């Protein structure tokens, strides 16, 4: 029997995750659904855990048809959970992670989500399958109902329901893939690492000598860029010295953790600077990755406080003609002096930002 895996993704970047799976030779993509990319792993191994644009990777245990709007669907889910082969799937997950995750500690937890209206809640779904998934291995089931939080190390199952179809799947890594080990320190408004990885992927870094993030915060864009382009010169600036300190610490942790897996990577240069006056000569940068301060959570400071548009004038100045900016923006926008290559519409934490891929024109128009 062929194994099917699901890469979970932020809404909007599913096609980029599918492309990442193909590019890395991880398997054959079988379909793209809401926040999911289904694929058949070529040879399920630890490489699956190297997916950077995916939020998580799961092994499909059962596809349940007839999961409609009514509560009878819950009975179907319970039956499917009772009948599926949890043991083989757990063994496969252990082979991929190389650890006895899921058997050792915490018991079983389930996290459910659905698209469309239902006469039951996510907790009803979770409880309908949780006890059945835990029973064969003699583990405890930890419900999330009433805000309870399952203990770390629990074997994590996911149920997604879309249309009339439900999928029961086992998460492979002990922690979701989007929770990066390097990112132990953070700032308000920091980027979700898989979105930063998608931005780096869209920037065509293979053709870049120098990449700048002028508002680098905790350093996520450049740390993710380094995973794609370990030899490229990466420069991170922020007006807030605390952010720069955190970015440097996160990058050092990433370098130490990634050394075994990816080998030596070039150090990222971090500095405190005002993006309203970037301390770089004109035309000296090939790519800009940026998540500008644009909402109440992170206000522009320094020269950008009175004149946020200065950021775009400065980016235009330091970028070489034909250079590319990949920016996460609250809404589609084309700054003067740039043409739009692509807009990727996301849904992220209840908002709908875009990743804008912009090319610098010869003049500011
Ligand atoms: C949305 S956050 C960036 C988050 C970052 N991408 C991350 O992953 O952590 C915006 C950043 O812009 C910085 N900022 C605000 N005004 C600035 C300015 N004038 N020059 C440089 N950085 C500025 C803030 O300190 C904050 O770190």
Ligand 1 centroid from CA 230, angstroms: 23
> Is the domain of 89 the same as that of 217?
no
Q: Supply the pLDDT for residue 154.
A: 85
* Of 96 and 101, more confident: 96
- Considering only CA atoms, which residue is closest to atom 27 of ligand 1? 217
> Is the domain of 165 the same as that of 218?
no
| Mutate-to-test residue for ligand 1 from 200, 271, 298, highest number of ligand atoms within 8 A of CB | 298
Cβ proximity of 168 and 81 under 8 Å = yes
Q: Supply the pLDDT for residue 34.
A: 87
Confidence of residue 108 (pLDDT cuts 50, 70, 90): very high
One-letter-per-residue 3-state SS of the chain? CCCCEEEECCECCHHHHHHHHHHCCCEEEEEEECCEEEEEECCCCHHHHHCCCCCEEEEEEEEEECCCCCCHHHHHHHHHHHHCCHHHHHHHHHHHHCCCCCCCCCCEEEEEEEECCCCCCHHHHHHHHHHHHHHHHCCCEECCHHHCCCCCCCEEEEEEEECCEEEEEEECCCCCCCCCCCCCCCCCCCCCHHHHHHHHHHCCHHHCCEEEECCCCCCHHHHHHHHHCCCCEEEEEECCHHHHHHHHHHHHHHHHHHHHHHCCCCCCEEEECCCCCCCCCCCCEEEEEECCCCECCECCCCHHHHCCCHHHHHHHHHEEEEEEEEEEECCCCCCCCEEEEEEEECEECCECCEEEEEEECCCCC
CATH number where 53 lies? 3.30.2130.30
> Is the domain of 102 the same as that of 165?
yes
Q: Supply the pLDDT for residue 98.
A: 83
> Which of 364, 288, 351, 352 is closest to 319 using CA atoms?
288
Cβ proximity of 174 and 101 under 8 Å = yes
Calpha distance 270→222 (Å, rounded): 10
What does the block give as tokens for 195? 């979105």
Calpha distance 126→261 (Å, rounded): 36
What is the Cα 263 distance to its own chain's centre?
22
Q: Which atom of ligand 1 is nearest to the CA of 237?
A: 21
Residue 37 lies in a domain: yes
Confidence of residue 31 (pLDDT cuts 50, 70, 90): very high
> Is the domain of 223 the same as that of 342?
yes
Domain boundary among 108, 140, 171: 171
Q: Supply the pLDDT for residue 363.
A: 80
> Is the domain of 23 the same as that of 114?
yes
> Is the domain of 162 the same as that of 234?
no
Q: What's the whole-number average pLDDT of the chain?
A: 93
Residue 104 has pLDDT above 70, yes or no: no
Cβ proximity of 96 and 177 under 8 Å = no
Residue 180 lies in a domain: no
The position carrying tokens 């009878």 is 72
> Is the domain of 163 the same as that of 290?
no
> Is the domain of 346 the same as that of 252?
yes
Q: Supply the pLDDT for residue 43.
A: 86
Q: Supply the pLDDT for residue 314.
A: 98
Q: Supply the pLDDT for residue 137.
A: 82
Residues near ligand 1 (Cβ within 6 A): 187, 189-191, 214-218, 220-221, 237-240, 243, 274-276, 291, 293, 298, 300-304
Domain boundary among 171, 201, 223: 171
* Of 334 and 152, more confident: 334
Confidence of residue 296 (pLDDT cuts 50, 70, 90): low
The residues, ordered by sequence, that sit 6+ positions from 343 with a Cβ below 8 Å of its Cβ are: 332, 354, 355, 356, 357
> How many distinct structural domains can be found in the chain?
2
Instruction: For 226-284, write each residue's pLDDT tens digit.
Output: 999 999 999 999 999 999 999 999 999 999 887 666 777 789 999 999 999 999 999 99
The position carrying tokens 């990449």 is 211
Calpha distance 280→107 (Å, rounded): 54
> Is the domain of 199 the same as that of 241?
yes
CATH number where 301 lies? 3.40.50.150
Share of the chain above pLDDT 90, in %: 79
- Angle of helix 241-262 relative to helix 220-228, nearest 10 degrees, comes to 20
Q: Which atom of ligand 1 is nearest to the CA of 275?
A: 20
Ligand 1 centroid from CA 267, angstroms: 20
Ligand 1 centroid from CA 259, angstroms: 28
Q: Supply the pLDDT for residue 192.
A: 97
Cβ proximity of 304 and 311 under 8 Å = yes
Residue 182 lies in a domain: no
Domain boundary among 136, 171, 206: 171
Over range 120-138, report the average pLDDT. 93
Calpha distance 226→229 (Å, rounded): 5
Q: Supply the pLDDT for residue 116.
A: 86
Q: Supply the pLDDT for residue 365.
A: 65
| Mutate-to-test residue for ligand 1 from 192, 217, 224, highest number of ligand atoms within 8 A of CB | 217
Residue 280 belongs to domain spanning: 193-360
Q: Supply the pLDDT for residue 100.
A: 61
> Is the domain of 197 the same as that of 242?
yes
Ligand 1 centroid from CA 170, angstroms: 37
Q: Supply the pLDDT for residue 260.
A: 61
Over range 172-196, report the average pLDDT. 94
Q: Supply the pLDDT for residue 211.
A: 98
| Mutate-to-test residue for ligand 1 from 215, 221, 240, 328, highest number of ligand atoms within 8 A of CB | 215
Cβ proximity of 353 and 346 under 8 Å = yes
Number of CB atoms found within 10 A of residue 309's CB: 11
Cβ proximity of 318 and 282 under 8 Å = yes
Residue 103 has pLDDT above 60, yes or no: no
> Is the domain of 45 the same as that of 166?
yes
Q: Supply the pLDDT for residue 266.
A: 86
> Is the domain of 209 the same as that of 295?
yes
Instruction: For 32-53, write each residue's pLDDT tens digit.
Output: 988 999 999 998 889 999 999 9
């Amino acid at each position: 029997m062929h194994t099917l895996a699901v890469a979970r993704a932020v809404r909007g970047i599913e096609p980029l995750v599918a492309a990442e799976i193909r590019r890395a030779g991880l398997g054959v993509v079988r379909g793209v659904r809401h926040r999911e990319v289904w694929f058949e792993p070529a040879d399920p191994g630890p490489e699956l855990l190297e997916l950077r644009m995916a939020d998580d990777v799961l092994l499909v245990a059962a596809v349940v048809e007839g999961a409609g709007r009514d509560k009878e669907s819950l009975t179907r889910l319970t039956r499917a959970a009772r009948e599926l082969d949890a043991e083989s799937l757990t063994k496969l997950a252990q082979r991929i992670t190389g650890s006895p995750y899921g058997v050792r500690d915490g018991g079983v937890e389930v996290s459910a989500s659905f698209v469309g209206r239902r006469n039951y809640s996510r907790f009803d779904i979770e409880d309908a399958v949780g006890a059945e998934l835990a029973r064969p291995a003699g583990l405890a089931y930890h419900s999330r109902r009433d805000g309870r939080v399952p203990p770390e190390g629990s074997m994590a199952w996911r149920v997604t329901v879309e249309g009339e179809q439900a999928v029961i799947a086992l998460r492979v890594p002990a922690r979701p893939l989007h929770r990066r080990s390097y990112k132990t320190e953070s700032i308000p408004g920091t980027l979700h690492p898989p979105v930063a990885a998608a931005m780096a992927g869209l920037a065509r870094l293979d053709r870049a000598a120098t990449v700048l993030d002028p508002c680098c915060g905790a350093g996520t864009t450049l740390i993710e860029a380094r995973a794609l382009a370990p030899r490229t010169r990466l420069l991170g600036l922020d007006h807030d010295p605390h952010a720069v300190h955190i970015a440097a610490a996160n990058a050092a942790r990433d370098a130490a953790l990634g050394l075994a897996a990816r080998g030596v990577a070039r150090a990222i240069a971090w500095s405190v600077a005002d993006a309203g006056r970037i301390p770089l000569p004109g035309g000296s940068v090939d790519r800009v990755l940026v998540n500008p301060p644009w909402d109440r959570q992170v206000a522009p400071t320094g020269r950008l406080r009175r004149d946020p548009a200065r950021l775009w004038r400065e980016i235009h100045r330091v970028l070489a003609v034909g250079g590319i900016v990949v920016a996460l923006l609250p809404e589609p926008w084309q700054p003067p002096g740039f043409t739009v290559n692509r807009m990727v519409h996301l849904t992220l934490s209840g908002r709908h930002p875009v990743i804008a891929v912009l090319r610098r024109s010869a003049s500011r128009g």
